[in-house]
Amino acid sequence: MTAATTADVLERTRAFVRRVCLPAEARFGGHDVDPALRAELQEAARAAGVFAPHVGREHGGLGLGIADWPGVFEAAGYSLLGPAALNCAAPDEGNMHLLELTGTPAQQARYLAPLARGELRSCFAMTEPHPGAGSDPDALATTARRVDGGWRIDGAKRFISGADGAAFAICMARAPEGATMFLVDAGTPGFEVGRTMPATDTIVAGGHSEVVLHDCVVPEEAVLGEVGEGFRYAQVRLGPARLTHCMRWLGLARRAHDVALDRTAERELFGARLDQLGLAQGLIADSVIDLAASSALIQTAADALAAGRRAAQETSIAKVFVSEAVFRVVDRSIQLLGGDGVVHDLPVARFLTEVRPFRIYDGPSETHRWAISRRASRLRGAEREA
């Protein structure tokens, strides 16, 4: 895609979010996007030429490369409804990317094609109850054993976003050869979606669920990619997926900042406009800096991924900084709005509880800081020896 058409998609996305998603927020009950509203918004996104911007053209998407995602995903994230409308919301977006890279043609036809068309939802099942996989994926306790004609999976998962209502799960389990990903259809005997865990965030379709796999038998064709390569594929999924979270949440932080700027431009206090009072200007300036730095770190990581690099350090740095910066920006916006910041007449109060979990999922800040520091020490060690 040429730069001109990428710019077109960006402009169309901004216009679509302003024209369709922001007004639709008034019809959004506040928990989960209703399937009928989601279908209506997706139809409108198709008509506006902004649907599935990240998906290859051969699968019906707009075919943008990852270096061109940041602006478009941020524009979608400006409304809580934008990512669902464009079909670039988590966890489906990350699963589409993984299926595009690792799925067989048959798996792509069966799972990726309908997912990319927005006909069904999916989930990604990795995290387990303690002492299983969480920050440390090596603790993976769900097992996969070969049986006649396929595999038997046993284990428990939790926090699985979108599991309730998903047509299939990409499930991580430990085979004798190592961690392996399996495509498990909803309705497979032994695959049970349990309790939805009440959480601070509400926007993910289906919420976050507990899942049990008990004597769950899947065929050989259910293996995604190679047996034993699950952790490598998890990185293929999680690097871009944590970056697209950064992009979308940056959009929401920018929205909160805009709401605060609009208010401070009109609110008179102590004989001055609020945006002319120094302490308020300090809050505004710090948010401008957080937004600009987030944008730059996201683009740096996206460019590194686009160049074919694993970009583990770049995506970790962006993930830590952006997940913390968007929280700060939303929090400052709330402060500038005064009491209106914490009541739900304005949308901003809600944004805080939507962005907070991002400092935990896709790797908590501490796990990433630990990894960033170890990579820095390793790199310096190699430089000393060179």
Ligand X SMILES: Cc1cc2nc3c(=O)[nH]c(=O)nc-3n(C[C@H](O)[C@H](O)[C@H](O)COP(=O)(O)OP(=O)(O)OC[C@H]3O[C@@H](n4cnc5c(N)ncnc54)[C@H](O)[C@@H]3O)c2cc1C
CB nearer to ligand X: pick between 124 and 327: 124
Cα(255)–Cα(340) distance, integer angstroms: 15
Tokens of 71: 């602006």
For residue 243, report the phi and psi dihedrals to the nearest 5 degrees.
-75, -35
Residue 221: other Cβ atoms inside 10 A: 12
Determine, following the binding rule CB under 6 A, whether residue 351 of this chain makes contact with ligand X.
no
Determine, following the binding rule CB under 6 A, whether residue 315 of this chain makes contact with ligand X.
no
Determine, following the binding rule CB under 6 A, whether residue 231 of this chain makes contact with ligand X.
no
Residue range at the interface with ligand X (CB under 6 A); choices 54-62, 237-245, 363-371, 377-385:
363-371
CB nearer to ligand X: pick between 83 and 134: 134
CB nearer to ligand X: pick between 16 and 358: 358
Collect contacts of 194-201 with beta carbons under 8 A, ≥24 apart: 196/164, 197/158, 197/159, 199/357, 200/353, 200/354, 200/356, 200/357, 201/353, 201/354, 201/356, 201/357
Determine, following the binding rule CB under 6 A, whether residue 264 of this chain makes contact with ligand X.
no
CA-wise closest residue to 225 among 55, 362, 95, 98:
98
Distance of closest approach, residue 201 Cβ to ligand X, in angstroms:
5
Among positions 68-127, residues that touch ligand X (CB under 6 A) are 91, 123-127
Q: Which of 366, 374, 377, 378 binds ligand X (CB under 6 A)?
A: 366
CA-wise closest residue to 374 among 385, 362, 363, 382:
382
Distance of closest approach, residue 327 Cβ to ligand X, in angstroms:
14
CB nearer to ligand X: pick between 24 and 125: 125
Residue nearest to ligand X (CB): 134
Among positions 133-172, residues that touch ligand X (CB under 6 A) are 134-135, 159-161
| Helices and strands counted in the chain (H then E) | 13, 10
Residue 313: other Cβ atoms inside 10 A: 17
Determine, following the binding rule CB under 6 A, whether residue 38 of this chain makes contact with ligand X.
no
Determine, following the binding rule CB under 6 A, whether residue 201 of this chain makes contact with ligand X.
yes
Cα(258)–Cα(254) distance, integer angstroms: 6
CB nearer to ligand X: pick between 14 and 97: 97
Dihedral sign computed on CA atoms, order 274, 278, 280, 285? positive
Among positions 202-221, residues that touch ligand X (CB under 6 A) are 208
Q: Which of 60, 226, 357, 375 binds ligand X (CB under 6 A)?
A: 357
Determine, following the binding rule CB under 6 A, whether residue 364 of this chain makes contact with ligand X.
yes
Task: Give the HSE-up count for residue 269: Cα atoms under 13 Å, Cβ half-sphere.
Answer: 14
Binding site for ligand X (CB under 6 A): 91, 123-127, 134-135, 159-161, 199, 201, 208, 357, 360-361, 364, 366-367, 370
